[in-house]
Amino acid sequence: MEKIYLDNAASSPMDERVLEAMMQYFTKAGNASSIHAFGKPLKVALEDSRDNIADFLGVKPKEIFFTSGGTESNNTALKGVSLKNYKGEKRHIISSTVEHPAVLDILKYICEKFNFSLTLLKPDKNGEITPGAVLKEIKKDTLLISLMHANNETGLITDIGSIAKEKGDVYLHSDTVQSAGKVKLNFKKMGIDFASISGHKIYGPKGIGVLYINEKSKIDKFSHGGGQERDMRGGTENIPAIVGLSKAFDLLRENIDKDILHYKTLRDYLIKKLKDAYGEYVLFNSNERGLYNIVNISFNTDKLNAAGDMLLIRLDLNGIAVSGGSACSSGSLKPSRVLLESGRDEKTAMASLRISFGRKNRIDETDYFMEVLKDLVRKK
């Protein structure tokens, strides 16, 4: 039985060309911070990678910092700006109830430990966080807004640019882990102050990420130690992973237009198949304004036998990997918090799937998914 991976929003398979670029650095002696002949080539690789990624994101190399992934990038940005300002008058933070736990848990910690106040916006009837709703919550003491660019479960996009234009002197952080490589990002044009990216969502290695810090933004460093990353993150740099991440960005530069069209083709094909099979009994939690690679659906359990919490398991037994929500919490088989916050009832949220396409997925895989799904989800 062929196994079909339709959970690329959780993690994408590393491209073979990324691994090839990394291989020579696993066995090289030296440290990028050393000044001798063994260290200098590693330093060159480090800074060349930084230049390359900065160019892709439309920012300056000195604004790019390497981390272990999206979670560390979020921690560094959110804790860093809060620690820098915890004695000041600005002590209010705005975010939403549908953020990734790698943002919500951090913000709750900051508020508990440093006595910041937190406003969490609920999505509107379309599941979206609108600029108007965000801007209404800005007060004199608002320090920071943190909103993901694209939701990791539904793929719905927040208009970060419109918020940035009107936010005044409030810091704006965006988790762009899910949208990187699925839409074209230019952090300068978006007007954000901090942004997070994770390598394993863009066909790069796991355990490496990027934090963008606008050169005008002031934060405390989060990881103390050596003077690496311009004294912002102590610790010897992971050169193989950084080189691999840079190669992943090279491949995005070459393929992003083709990738986006590919995702759209697969998404449109799947949506038509779902509508043909289930009509009004399939509910779409993502829309045409969201990321093309994510289709999030719920089934009307009054009309369909959707197997509830067993649906994911039954699909897996048929060789199909999809998700019911965030990969960080999907093992619990609980209803999606994002869908509950977006207005779905618990029963419907349990009968939900997130199908997320990658660069190598094919139409025939979508056909097989639909064949299996129609066998598992039937009209009552």
CB 146 within 8 A of CB 99: yes
Angle between helices 239-278 and 363-376 (to 10 degrees): 50
- Is 111 one of the annotated active-site residues of the chain? no
Question: Rounded to an integer, what distance in angstroms lies between the CA atom of residue 306 and that of residue 226?
Answer: 54
Neighbouring residues of 27: CB distance < 8 A, sequence distance ≥ 6: none
Please identify which of the residues 23, 261, 317, 328 carries the catalytic annotation. 328
Cα 199 to the chain's mean position, in Å? Answer: 10
Amino acid at 61: P
Angle at 122 between CA 116 and CA 125, to 5 degrees: 165
d(C-alpha 294, C-alpha 178), whole Å: 10
Instruction: Give me the active site residues, please.
Output: 328
